[in-house]
Amino acid sequence: MKTRIAPTPSGFLHVGNAVSFLITYCLAKSENGKLLLRIDDLDRERYRKEYLEDIFYALDWLGIQYDEGPSSLDDFDKFWSQHQRLSLYDLALKSALEQGCVYSCECTRKDLMTSCNYPVYDGKCRDLKKSFHEKSAWRWQIKEGTFIHWVDLFKANTTVNLSKQMGDFVVKQKNGLPSYQLGSYVDDLHFNITHIIRGADLLTSTAAQLCMATFMESIDFQRIHFGHHPLITDKNGNKLSKSAGSESLKSLRETGKNPLAILEIARKMLGLPDEKIETTAELVQLCLAYKPFLNEKIRSI
């Protein structure tokens, strides 16, 4: 099996990122699999060098060793950046266009936010048959009543009503770059990923990508095993996020703290026995002994 962690260099990583990384790492180790570090850097507006550096520092601090991926900032820029794979994304977009899966959308952010269905797209441009010019976005058309089903590693039988929960989603942005949905879909195929661990906030993203895989007849993607873990929240019940300024791993490192508290969160979330652990290696050993990914013991914190 092969899994991946896919951080974005758009802010300093937080505890929620770390827990997701640890769960993914434990899955790879407990199943004798491979772990890929894939850094999603399509969004260059928020990209900063210090955010990219933070990813490497954070993985080292957590004790996570990956089997494939960039070894340094220079190595990343030369060989691993998503901007090195633009031709692959273009091929997927061309295929979607030829199959009639997408349409051109000229809606502005204001149009979207003032829609009564926001954040679900209301399909305003769907039947207008606008031309596919450089400054338009491309949306994947979702038919009414589109339900996507899969057996989740942690949530068992899972169903997403894609037409109601997401609607027609963007696959090509107005700046010409692929969206997260398409970029992640293409990358997971390109790197032969078999297992994906994500937060529960990405259930609709998984559904969107499985929908694309069905229409693109991508059997390999349809065979991927997905697991969606509960989100780590702050004291007010809000999910941790870079944009909201959640406490960063960088600040924890710089104040001399170790990752023990984060390891404990991961242990509890995996439903592992209340045994003292002080290292990531010890967390992996618990996973090897109790196989939480087979027993569906994922817990909410």
**Is the model's pLDDT at 94 over the cut of 60?**
yes
**% of the chain residues with pLDDT over 70:** 96
- Which pLDDT band holds residue 79 (cuts at 50, 70, 90)? very high
Phi, psi of 92 (to 5 degrees): -65, -40
**Is the model's pLDDT at 277 over the cut of 60?**
yes
**Is the model's pLDDT at 301 over the cut of 60?**
no
Specify if 168 maps to a domain. yes
- Which pLDDT band holds residue 244 (cuts at 50, 70, 90)? low
Closest CA to 3 of 149, 13, 22: 22
Could you list the residue range(s) of the whole structural domain that residue 181 is in? 2-295
Greater confidence (50 vs 244) lies with 50
Specify if 301 maps to a domain. no
Residues 96-108 pLDDT 10s: 999 999 999 998 8
Residues 5-50 pLDDT 10s: 999 999 999 999 999 999 999 999 999 999 999 999 999 899 999 9
- Which pLDDT band holds residue 300 (cuts at 50, 70, 90)? very low
Specify if 141 maps to a domain. yes
Specify if 116 maps to a domain. yes
Greater confidence (145 vs 241) lies with 145
For residue 81, what pLDDT is reported? 98
Count of structural domains, the chain: 1
Beta strands in the chain (DSSP E): 2-5, 34-37, 102-105, 137-140, 147-152, 156-161, 169-172, 195-199, 225-229
Contacts of 7 (CB under 8 A, 6+ apart): 13, 17, 21, 39, 40, 55
Residues 109-135 pLDDT 10s: 888 877 777 888 988 899 888 888 778
Asked whether the bond before 119 is cis by omega within 30 degrees of 0, the reply is: yes
For residue 118, what pLDDT is reported? 81
> Distance between alpha carbon 232 and the CA centroid of its chain, in Å?
15
Specify if 39 maps to a domain. yes
For residue 267, what pLDDT is reported? 96
Mean pLDDT, to the nearest integer, of 40-69?
A: 97
For residue 297, what pLDDT is reported? 47
Specify if 14 maps to a domain. yes
CATH code for position 62: 3.40.50.620
- Which pLDDT band holds residue 203 (cuts at 50, 70, 90)? very high
Specify if 207 maps to a domain. yes
Computed over every residue of the chain, the mean pLDDT equals 92
- Which pLDDT band holds residue 268 (cuts at 50, 70, 90)? very high
Specify if 300 maps to a domain. no
Residues in the chain: 301
